[in-house]
Structure 1
Amino acid sequence: MIEATHLTKRYGATVAVDDLTFTVAPGRVTGFLGPNGAGKSTTLRMILGLNAPSGGAVTVNGVPFAGHPRGLRHVGALLDAQDIHGGRSAHAHLAALARSNRIPPARVDEVLHEVGLAKAARRRIGGFSLGMKQRLGIAGALLGDPPVLLFDEPLNGLDPEGVRWVRGLFRRLAAEGRTVFVSSHMMAEMHQTADHLIVIGQGRLIADQALEEFAARDTSLSVTVKTPDLAALTDALTAEGASVHQETDEVGRVTGLTAARIGDLAHQHHIALHQLTSETSSLESAFMSITAASVDYLAGEAR
């Protein structure tokens, strides 16, 4: 478990992380989302003791990360797949990590096989593609068989097979009761992988809730209705505060009310419904809507 309490980080006059309080629970995949510059990487670095908080605290299983002897046995992390010595082989890199954390040497071959790099174990890392480096970084995170795992943008550079493999890996790790914390900008993958979301903007907490609950906050969702008496249904719905856009004589698109409420109102007014279809909740749409006020870098801004 990861617990942050009033976590704050300042760089001079700039507040990168502002009074964050959240818990990352074991047994589920928790996505960590936010616009560029929101403070996600800084938060991850504070969890790992790489940056010292200006205020507040963060613990891993009740203890600051620095208090865990042989850190890789407690927390595995991938922060930057490119931050690695290109002159070493994949096997040599992991062997050094294993030796420094008193991890059995046999574990190196196990994780290389698990991430699909067994055949490239003796190759120099400098010749690896970004996707291969991501796999090696994941191998390093898994090396100590830790109960807590952190990943910052782990899908960058992976091909479709690799993305599918990582998705299954994260779900398996969570099913084993581990704490899995994943920062990513790939909304479609987060929608398929995460169970819970922590969303920040400009260093502050915006949301801490189940993924489906967060996605349902998308206020742009609409409901398509088909009825032989669209005018009467429109009157009933607008009286409840909904908006109805007429698409044909019998079909309208409704915003502002759920499908269940529309169905109830149609029943109350004795209006026949031939179709009542809700749009699927979109994590990307909800994210864009809810974080709009926290975006620091907008493409195409007027100068």
Structure 2
Amino acid sequence: MIEVHELTKRYGRPGAGRLAVDRLGFDVGPGRVTGFLGPNGAGKSTTLRLILGLNEPTSGTATVGGRRFRELPRGLRDVGALLDAHDVHGGRTAEAHLAALARTNGIPRRRAAEVLEEVGLAEAARRRIGGYSLGMKQRLGIAAALLGDPPVLLFDEPVNGLDPEGVRWARGLFRRLAAEGRTVFVSSHLMSEMEHTADDLVVIGRGRLIAAESVADFAARGTRRSVTVRTADPAAAPGLADALAAGGATVRRGEAGTLTVTGTAADRVGVLAFRHGVPLAELTARASSLEEAFMELTADSVEYR
């Protein structure tokens, strides 16, 4: 369990510096994948560093299992993390890199080979990391996070640089780790990936909490809902489109008598079609996607437009 309470981080002089995290509070529980979202500059990376004790908060607390990370006795056995895939010594091999981490954390050396196999780098274990692609470095970072078999895992943009197969692999890995009862906290800017990976979301903007809820509940907060209408008689579609527009709806015309309607409910569309004698072959309501809800609900928190 990760618990963040009234967490604040200000850089620079008191009262005059930059406020990166502002009285932030949320919990991340075990058994679920929790996505961590926010516009660029929202404070996501700073928050992860505060949780891991790499930065000292100005005020507030961030704990793992009820204790600050620096107080945890077992290092990588307690928490595994990937913050920056480039933060490795390019002159070392992957095998040597993980062996050093294992030794300093009291982890059996055999775990290095096990996690390299798990992330698909076994054949590249003795190659120097400087020759790795970004995707390979991401896999190595994930391997390092898994090295101590910890109950809590944090990943900052872990699928950057991965090809489609790698993204699919990472998605399955995170869900499997959560299914094993671990706490899995994943920061990402890829909305489509979070929609397929995360169970819950923590969304922040300008260092403040915007939402902490399930993916479905967050998407449902978006107002950009639409209705897809397909007429059994394509020739009747223009008349229905005009009737919907006259009623205040926004209508986009597609092929074969298909209309995409926003600004009105599906039952209202059905009533208008009945009144105008338009036979329908399809009437489907669609909620906002995660990306649409995110763009709408974080619009006031975007630092650069």
TM over 0.5: yes
Over 3 Å counting, the alpha-carbon distance change for 1:276 and 1:143 in structure 2 is: same
Separation in 2 of the partners of 1:138 and 1:246?
44
Aligned length: 292
Partner of 2:290: 283
Over 3 Å counting, the alpha-carbon distance change for 1:138 and 1:247 in structure 2 is: closer
Q: Is the 8 A contact 1:230 1:251 kept in 2?
A: no
Q: Which of 179, 184, 188 is matched with 1:184 structurally?
A: 188
Matches within 5 A, 1:22-41: 22-41=26-45
Partner of 2:176: 172
With 205-214 and 262-271 compared, the bigger mean Cα shift is at 262-271
Q: Is the 8 A contact 2:240 2:278 kept in 1?
A: no
Partner of 1:152: 156
Task: Classify the secondary structure of the residue corresponding to 1:107.
Answer: helix
Separation in 1 of the partners of 2:259 and 2:229?
5
Over 3 Å counting, the alpha-carbon distance change for 1:110 and 1:247 in structure 2 is: closer
Task: Classify the secondary structure of the residue corresponding to 2:36.
Answer: strand
Separation in 2 of the partners of 1:41 and 1:251?
44
Separation in 1 of the partners of 2:76 and 2:54?
14
1:293 aligns with 2:300: yes
Over 3 Å counting, the alpha-carbon distance change for 1:113 and 1:255 in structure 2 is: same
1:90 aligns with 2:94: yes
Over 3 Å counting, the alpha-carbon distance change for 1:262 and 1:176 in structure 2 is: farther
Partner of 1:243: 249
In the superposition, the TM-score normalised over structure 2's length comes to: 0.87
> CA offsets per residue over residues 37-94 of structure 1, 9 Å max, x none?
0000000000000011111101101111111112100100000000111111111111
State the Cα distance separating 1:262 from its structure 2 match: 3.5
Separation in 2 of the partners of 1:174 and 1:268?
48
1:112 aligns with 2:116: yes
Q: Is the 8 A contact 1:266 1:273 kept in 2?
A: no
Partner of 2:146: 142
Over 3 Å counting, the alpha-carbon distance change for 1:257 and 1:125 in structure 2 is: same
Instruction: Output the amino acid matched with 2:18.
Output: T
Over 3 Å counting, the alpha-carbon distance change for 1:39 and 1:264 in structure 2 is: same
Instruction: Output the amino acid matched with 1:125.
Output: I
Q: Is the 8 A contact 2:224 2:287 kept in 1?
A: no
Separation in 2 of the partners of 1:232 and 1:134?
52
Q: Which of 204, 207, 210 is matched with 1:203 structurally?
A: 207
In the superposition, the TM-score normalised over structure 1's length comes to: 0.88
Q: Is the 8 A contact 2:241 2:251 kept in 1?
A: no
Q: Is the 8 A contact 1:225 1:273 kept in 2?
A: no
| Structure 2 gap segments, 5+ residues each | none
1:3 aligns with 2:10: no
RMSD of Structure 2 on Structure 1 (CA): 2.5
Q: Is the 8 A contact 1:233 1:271 kept in 2?
A: no
State the Cα distance separating 1:279 from its structure 2 match: 3.2
Q: Is the 8 A contact 2:224 2:288 kept in 1?
A: no
Separation in 2 of the partners of 1:222 and 1:24?
32
> CA offsets per residue over residues 199-256 of structure 1, 9 Å max, x none?
1110011111111221223322211346779499859x95xxx6253859x8754434
State the Cα distance separating 1:105 from its structure 2 match: 1.1
| Structure 1 gap segments, 5+ residues each | 299-303
Over 3 Å counting, the alpha-carbon distance change for 1:234 and 1:142 in structure 2 is: same
Q: Which of 122, 127, 151 is matched with 1:123 structurally?
A: 127
Q: Is the 8 A contact 2:223 2:288 kept in 1?
A: no
State the Cα distance separating 1:286 from its structure 2 match: 1.4
Task: Classify the secondary structure of the residue corresponding to 1:197.
Answer: strand
Instruction: Output the amino acid matched with 1:138.
Output: I
Separation in 1 of the partners of 2:296 and 2:260?
20
Separation in 1 of the partners of 2:241 and 2:28?
49
Q: Is the 8 A contact 1:222 1:253 kept in 2?
A: yes
